[in-house]
Structure formats: structure tokens, C-alpha cells
Structure 1
Amino acid sequence: MSEIEKLSGILSITFQNNELIKQAFIHRSYLNEARVKIHSNERLEFLGDSILSFLVSDFLYAAFPKLPEGELTNLRSSVVKTSTLAQIAGQLQLGNFLKLSHGEEESGGRKNPSILADTFEALLGAIFLDLGLEPVKKILKNTLFSLIAKIYKEKSYKDAKSSFQEMVQNEIKISPVYKVTSEKGPDHAKEFTVAAYVDNIKWGQGSGKNKQEAEQQAAIVAIEKWKKK
């Protein structure tokens, strides 16, 4: 059974343009090792990111008619954040289909949350170009959308930075400070790592596609650690 047939079985979708689907799994690190000229999945990721944001927004607007704009925005951010998308990519076994350089392979690229999240978005972009919007909706309905009720119920979409600041200030009257500790990748696909400090002590660290997402992830980790101190 070919990789495309395996993927088709996992997603319960029959592809028309197999080469386009294969491109969704070509990480940029693989380009220098390929024997023929190929393209990475970055353009497909760009497209898939926009499609994902639109479909999640559409779903949330209909599912939560009483939520104000600010909470809808926070909920959407929680749904499409790197860790959530990487979780879905893991469930779909997308890491098994990745084309990576030897170096990226050895450094654990198949389990890298950022790479997995990007690949999931690239796959959505490829499926949209190949088959249209409905199959993309089907995938999200069977994966991502099923997590939304849990995220909403647990209120985990609430602004973690504000929650952490409130916790800290209630005890010691100072505010957390967030510092970027690393910044990797090209301009259109950067990954930021941010650490949360209180009185020069690091309480949490998180990563994301922008500083805001990374700060939120750092705050989530910091909150859990602060509760246990």
C-alpha cells in the first residue's frame, strides 16, 4: 500500500492530485537532499492557515451565538494554536508521511509540534486545491471541531497572561515579565519561544508562531507551576 493510499484511508478521502498532496509533506529541510527539483509545503501552509482560520471562525460564530467578539477571538486562538494542531496531526499520524532532511529527522522532526502543526495546515491547503472546501470541513468536523466543546467547557481559552498576572499580583504585587528566548525559521514561518519571569525567576516557557501565542503558552505553563508552589 502506498503512502497516499494509507493517508486516504486515515482521512476517508479519495484524492485526485496525488502530487499536490505529497507536496504538503515536504519540509523545507528536505529540498537540498532531494534528487529532483521539488517545492516545500510552505505555500500550501500559507493557504491552509487562512482556510483553517476562516472555517474555525465560521463554526464558532454559529456554535456560540452569545459569545462576544473578544471571547470568540480568544477561543479561536486556542483552537488553532500550535499545540492543538500538533495534537490533531499526531492523531492522524501525519508525521509518518513527512519528508525531512537527515538532520531534521535525527533531531526529532517527525514529533516537532511546530512542524506537525505546519504540515496539518499545508495538508488542508492541498486538499482545498485538490477537492474544494467540503472535504476540508469534513476533516475539521472529525478532528478539531470535536475539541472545541472541551476547550470551551474548561475555559482554557481565557487569556492566560491576564490570569497569571492576577494570580501573581494578588500575592506579591508585581507583574510577570515575558522575554523572547529564541526565534527560528524564515520570516513567513517563524517559531518564537518565550519565557515568563516573576522577580527574575522563570516560571514557564512556551512556543508559538508569533510572540503573542508563545507568551500565552508560557503563561499557561507558569500558572500550573505557580499553583503547585
Structure 2
Amino acid sequence: MKKATPLSKTDIYLLEKRLAYEFKDKRLLELALSHRSVGPKNNERLEFLGDSLLNLTIAEALFHQFPDAKEGDLSRLRAHLVKGETLAEIAREKQLGDVVLLGTGEMKSGGFRRDSILADTVEALIGAIYLDQDMFCCQNKVLEWYESRLAGLDLKKAGKDPKTCLQELMQEKSLALPAYRVLNESGENHARMYEVECRLVNVEQVFCAIASSKRQAEKKAAELALQYFDEEVSGN
């Protein structure tokens, strides 16, 4: 369970190891982890800076990776990579929820699990690394964090919502569109969880997923359905 108190030396050491970056100015690190709920000394300005740095870094990487891609495709790919959901995934990989500094109210309501807070923290860390070092170091660090995501990009599919991809696939096969239904809702009001099923015509298997919003649960269920078709095509 995360703490509301300032980070210990052990917290800092372990976090820097996960980030693969050692801050010269530890105050910048602590500021980057400080949500606005802790008071006026928070990470919002660093988040603003990091957002711009992230967009530039990813735009440049995509520009070189896809030399023949059109502007619209590059914009779609960038939006996919810098969106809050992707940033929150990176935050969880680095276990930022264990060290983000929150006010009492946010901590009690589970803010350390919230995608928006985690995503903002990643952006703030990017801004902090830039100020602690320089642009070259900052961009290299971002590219390290995004290495597998950039390597796995498919120009035709990446950036498209799984529900959209599944719908297009069904249309290609001249089949009825997917049907989604909420099976169950659970948890407290501030931490609701939704279980959703996705059913497809002529497919016996039902694809179920759980997430903190109906939309996210539907997207996860659609991803499972897409995986099913990929495996069917590959013969696995």
C-alpha cells in the first residue's frame, strides 16, 4: 500500500532502478511524484512540460520508423502511444502507484490506481528528467520505455480502437456486428468494476472481460475476440 509521506531513500533507490535513471536532483523526482492533492507544490507544471517532450519524441520516432506513412496515419499512431491508457500501462510497469504522493482524500479513494493520475505522473517524470539532465537524455529514456511498443506497431491496426477493428472485421466477413452486454457490476462507487461479454454470430465462444469502466471492459472483450480470429487464421 502506498504512503502519503515523503519517499524514503529505499523508495527512491528502487524507483530509480525501475526507471533505469538516477536523478542528480532528488527534489525533482519527488516533485514529479507529487499529485496536486498534496498542495501547491505539485507536479502539474512538470506534467505540462513532459507532455510536450513526449509528443515531440514519439512524433520524431514515428517519422523515421514509417518514412512512407501519411500525416494522418502518423497522427493516429502518436495519439495511440501518448494517450492516457498507454501512459498508465507504463506507470504500472514501473510501479509508480506504490510511490506517487497523494493527499489524504485521493489516497483513500484509490487515486494511486487511477489511470489519469498514473498517466500524469509519467509525463511529470519525463519533464523532471529533462530538467535534471538534457533533451538527449530525456528522449533516450522515453524511447527506452517505449521500445517494445514502437517495435510492435502495425501501421494499419495500431491506434484503432479494438471495438472498431472487430467491427471492421465482421463487416469484411459480411457478419452481424458484435453484441456487448454487461454481466455484472461490483465494488464501491469510487472503484466500480464491470464484467462485459462480447458475442459474435456463428461463434460459439463468448468473450468476457472485466475493467473499471464499461467502455474499457468492452474494448478488452473485443481484443479477446480479435485474438480468437488471429489464432484461428494461424491454425493454433
> TM-score, normalized by length of structure 1?
0.67
Which position in structure 1 is the counterpart of 2:28? 20
Shift in Å at residue 12 of structure 1?
2.8
Q: CA distance change for structure 1 residues 10 and 166 in 2, over 3 Å: closer, same or farther? A: closer
Cα deviation code 1:17-69 (max 9, x no counterpart): 211221001111122xxxxxx51111110110000000000000001111111
Contact 2:44 2:124 survives alignment (8 Å): yes
User: Aligned partners of 1:226 and 1:142: how far apart in 2?
Assistant: 31
Residue 129 of structure 2 is aligned to residue 95 of structure 1? no
What are the ranges of 5 or more consecutive residues in structure 1 without an aligned counterpart?
32-37, 174-205, 208-214
Which position in structure 2 is the counterpart of 1:190? none
Q: CA distance change for structure 1 residues 226 and 5 in 2, over 3 Å: closer, same or farther? A: closer
User: Aligned partners of 2:88 and 2:121: how far apart in 1?
Assistant: 9
Which position in structure 2 is the counterpart of 1:71? 73
How do residues 165-180 of structure 1 correspond to structure 2 at under 5 angstroms?
none
User: Aligned partners of 2:218 and 2:75: how far apart in 1?
Assistant: 18
Deviates more, 1:111-120 or 1:99-108: 99-108
Shift in Å at residue 81 of structure 1?
1.1
Q: What SS is found at the alignment partner of 1:98?
A: coil
Amino acid in structure 2 at the alignment position of 1:141: L
What are the ranges of 5 or more consecutive residues in structure 2 without an aligned counterpart?
1-8, 178-210, 229-236
Q: CA distance change for structure 1 residues 59 and 225 in 2, over 3 Å: closer, same or farther? A: closer
Return the match for 1:51 from 50, 53, 58: 53
Contact 1:26 1:40 survives alignment (8 Å): yes
Which position in structure 1 is the counterpart of 2:63? 61
Which position in structure 2 is the counterpart of 1:35? none
Q: CA distance change for structure 1 residues 172 and 3 in 2, over 3 Å: closer, same or farther? A: closer
User: Aligned partners of 2:142 and 2:161: how far apart in 1?
Assistant: 24
Which position in structure 1 is the counterpart of 2:87? 85
Contact 2:126 2:142 survives alignment (8 Å): no
Shift in Å at residue 129 of structure 1?
1.0
Shift in Å at residue 132 of structure 1?
1.0
Amino acid in structure 2 at the alignment position of 1:16: K
Q: CA distance change for structure 1 residues 221 and 8 in 2, over 3 Å: closer, same or farther? A: closer
Contact 1:75 1:152 survives alignment (8 Å): no
Q: CA distance change for structure 1 residues 163 and 226 in 2, over 3 Å: closer, same or farther? A: same
Which position in structure 2 is the counterpart of 1:7? 15
Cα deviation code 1:139-185 (max 9, x no counterpart): 22222132123242782323668657757987789xxxxxxxxxxxx
User: Aligned partners of 1:223 and 1:12: how far apart in 2?
Assistant: 34
Q: Which has the larger radius of gyration?
A: 2
User: Aligned partners of 1:134 and 1:11: how far apart in 2?
Assistant: 16
User: Aligned partners of 2:148 and 2:167: how far apart in 1?
Assistant: 31
> TM-score, normalized by length of structure 2?
0.66
User: Aligned partners of 1:96 and 1:151: how far apart in 2?
Assistant: 29
Contact 1:60 1:76 survives alignment (8 Å): yes
Contact 1:13 1:135 survives alignment (8 Å): no
Shift in Å at residue 102 of structure 1?
2.0
Amino acid in structure 1 at the alignment position of 2:129: I
